[in-house]
Amino acid sequence: MTVIMDGKSCADKIIEKIKSEVVQYDKKPTLAVILIGNNHASSIYVANKQKKADYIGFNSILINLPYDVSENNLLEQIYKLNDNPDVNAILVQLPLPKTINQQKILEAIDPIKDVDCFTSYNFGWLALGYNPYVVPCTPKGIIRLTDEYKIDLEGKNIIVIGRSNIVGKPLSLLLEQRNATVTVAHSKTKNLTALSSSQDIVISAVGIPDFITTEYIKEGAVVIDVGINRTDKGITGDVKFDEVKDKASFITPVPKGIGPMTIAMLMENTLELFKIQHSFIN
Ligand code: NAD
């Protein structure tokens, strides 16, 4: 019997735990989100994050800047948040307009407030196998969900399809730290079906609906679908769920899979940064 991995209920448990911890503190952790323009998908993601932060009892600040904001103006906003002792966590919602140098913007975030591990300081520590202040939300959420279902990662052959800086790349590093043997595939990978169908765990972060069919999956493999694709049929993942689920041992749905785990990890990271900044933990 295939197990459908319930990211929503796992995330809800984490949120409740954070909520009960937060009431103990005199100050509220504060998450600041910078959103550029009014991209529909980004606005929904940001609204969901704020809703969850409010529910937990965090302060949430939204800085919504116009699409044509200048790089200097955006940098100034980040410096202000860096200097504000009441702000514990800063998230710049991606993607940014093409006219803005993303690297320059993300590097401006104070690493101790870098809630999604965007800066080279934190990412570098992650790559070296040391502890960054916090690890990136989506990869962290994926690993947390596999832990919840007691899926042992050690020694497993895992393919991560997609090599972006926010999902594929950091995820491959974290999996390697858990002693998995990791293959990273991307748009130029040859013979992806053959490669993927030999793996114990397939993780797709491509952004193409129905991309992963049964041909990509070994009988009994674990299938993690990171994709969030807006289609005429609503939100779907990368995996052709209805057919792949019969071949997989464990599979995540979309929605209610990795999406809620990402938000839960954003909240957890905000709390962790708050605690680091107030010296509650080392
Ligand atoms: P991205 O566009 O930055 O990266 C996509 C990756 O897919 C690239 O590395 C590219 O090489 C690879 N790719 C594209 N076509 C391919 C092909 N034919 N074969 C193999 N690889 C191919 O995207 P991203 O930001 O990493 O996001 C990927 C997907 O995950 C999107 O659907 C996004 O919405 C979703 N996402 C979900 C969450 C979540 O919380 N569930 C978080 C972040 C991103």
What's the pLDDT tens digit per position in 145-157? Answer: 999 999 999 999 9
Domain count for the chain: 2
Q: Which residues of the chain have a pLDDT value below 50?
A: 282
- Amino acid 51: pLDDT: 97
Pocket of ligand 1 contains residue 166 by CB under 6 Å? yes
212 Cα to the center of ligand 1, angstroms: 13
All residues at 6 or more sequence positions from 167 whose CB lies less than 8 Å from its CB, including other chains: 136, 138, 139, 205, 226
CA 103 to chain centre: 18
224 and 178 within one domain: yes
Report the largest interatomic distance among the alpha carbons of the chain, rounded to a whole angstrom.
56
**Distance (Å) from CA 207 to ligand 1 centroid:** 4
CA separation (Å) from 59 to 13, 51, 221, 270? Answer: 20, 11, 41, 10
pLDDT at 282: 44
pLDDT recorded at residue 279: 85
With a 6 Å cutoff on the Cβ, whether 138 touches ligand 1 is yes
Instruction: Say whether 116 is catalytic.
Output: yes
Q: Which of 63, 29, 58, 28 is nearest to 46 (CA)?
A: 63
What is the 202 CA–ligand 1 centroid distance (Å)? 14
Contacts of 104 (CB under 8 A, 6+ apart): 71, 75
Q: 253: closest CA among 2, 5, 13?
A: 5
The answer as to whether 255 is a domain residue is yes
pLDDT in tens, 254-279: 999 999 999 999 999 999 999 999 98
Q: Which atom of ligand 1 is nearest to the CA of 263?
A: 40
Query: 189 in a domain, yes or no?
Result: yes
Q: What is the pTM of this model?
A: 0.97
Residue 207 forms part of a structural domain: yes
**Any idea what the CATH number is for the domain that residue 252 is in?**
3.40.50.720
Ligand 1, atom 6, residue with closest C-alpha: 162
Q: Is the CB of 189 under 6 A from ligand 1?
A: yes
Q: How far is the CA of 209 from the centre of ligand 1 (A)?
A: 11
**Is 104 within the bounds of a domain?**
yes
Q: Of residues 52, 93, 218, 238, which has the active-site annotation? A: 93
Range of the structural domain that residue 207 is part of: 137-259
Paired tokens of 141: 């959420």
Indicate if 145 and 252 belong to the same structural domain: yes
Which residue is closest in CA terms to ligand 1's atom 30?
A: 227
* Residue 133 contacts residue 122 (beta carbons within 8 Å): yes
Whole-angstrom Cα distance, residue 202 to residue 178?
16
Q: Tell me, what's the pLDDT at 281? A: 56
User: Which sign, positive or negative, has the C-alpha torsion 75, 115, 33, 165?
Assistant: positive
Number of neighbouring beta carbons within 10 Å of residue 207 = 15
